[in-house]
Amino acid sequence: MRRSGPRALFAAIALAITGAVQAGDSITLASTTSTEASGLFDHIVPKFREATGIHVRVVAVGTGQAFEIGRRGDADVLLVHDTAAEEAFVSDGYAAERRHVMSNDFVLVGPADDPADVAGADSALDAFRRIADGEHPFTSRGDDSGTHRAERNLWHDAGIQPRGRWYRELGSGMGGTLNTAAAMDAYTYADRATWTAFGNRQNLTLLFDGDDVMFNQYGSLLLDGDRHPHVKHDKARQWHEWLLSDQGQEAIASFRLRGQQLFFPNDATPPEP
């Protein structure tokens, strides 16, 4: 083992501080803030550990950053929600395998008095048009996350290029964006899990949901072991496969927040070719 001075020092510090955590028995999962903030992992990770003895260390970031962490080989497995980007990630050779794991949906929230009357819209695109037409304040994540990408797709499909003082790109996480929307009585597009878990709604309320285009698909990406030989490929695969097993799918389905089921297992979805 090559070990120069500073490296030995780092290793010594590492030993002194991280003694409690057995890195060998753990894998690192890069996931999205939406899953972390809802508390899903607090529910399913212990079950996985019980079954396999493997500890999952969750780094919760935006989907864009999760891909970057994966590209650099800084995680063993990803759980993200941007199907198109996930497919590109596989075809670029960063991931060995991708599976649909679970899904839920996005929601459109806004001030309770609903000046744009999106509650009366007959589709998601109609709701977006109503906001843009009235130039009602709208806060966007603006952080290239899965939710942000889904929101931009809707604007695009509605034939709108959102710009102007009413459209605020925050460059913030889902929670931060909701905090800002609550403070300025703005509309925003959120994933249902974060919205349900969110504790600072103030005047915000759920105004529109249920359109098929607001579907939110989560996928598990197993990093390519050839490209990143150091990743804990075997343990990561156990997690990857456990998520799709009866046990894993049951664990996801049984997660409840405020009495609500937030993630729906994908066991019906066939594996990607």
Partner 1 sequence: MDNAFQAAFRLIAERDPVLVEIVTLSLQVSLTAVLIASAIALPLGAAIALWQFPGRGLLIVILNAFMGLPPVVAGLMVYLMLSRAGPLGELGLLFTPTAMVIAQVVLILPIVAALSRQVIEELWGEYREQLQSLGVSRLGAIPTLLWDARFSLTTVVLAGFGRASAEVGAVLIVGGNISGVTRVMTTSIALETNRGNLPLALGLGIILLVLVATVNAVAYMVGESARRRLG
Q: Are 131 and 160 in contact (CB under 8 A)?
A: no
CA dist., res. 161 & res. 191, Å (int): 22
Of 62, 173, 219, 265, which one interacts with partner 1 (CB under 8 A)?
173
Of 51, 97, 160, 175, which one interacts with partner 1 (CB under 8 A)?
175
Residues 6 or more apart whose Cβ sits within 8 Å of residue 145: 32, 33, 62, 63, 64, 173, 174
Of 118, 170, 197, 252, which one interacts with partner 1 (CB under 8 A)?
197
Contacts of partner 1 in 198-227 (CB under 8 A): 198-201
CA dist., res. 92 & res. 72, Å (int): 13
Contacts of partner 1 in 16-55 (CB under 8 A): 16-18, 21, 23, 28, 33, 36-37, 41-42
Name the token pair of 205: 């309320």
Residue span binding partner 1 (CB under 8 A) among the ranges 3-11, 131-139, 140-148, 241-249: 3-11
| 146 contributes a contact to partner 1 by CB under 8 A | no
Q: Are 96 and 231 in contact (CB under 8 A)?
A: no
- Rounded to the nearest whole angstrom, what is the least distance from the CB of residue 135 to partner 1 in the complex? 26
Phi, psi of 104 (to 5 degrees): -150, -150
Can you give the binding site for partner 1, defined by CB under 8 A? 7, 10-11, 13-14, 16-18, 21, 23, 28, 33, 36-37, 41-42, 57-61, 71-74, 173-176, 178-179, 182, 197-201, 228, 230
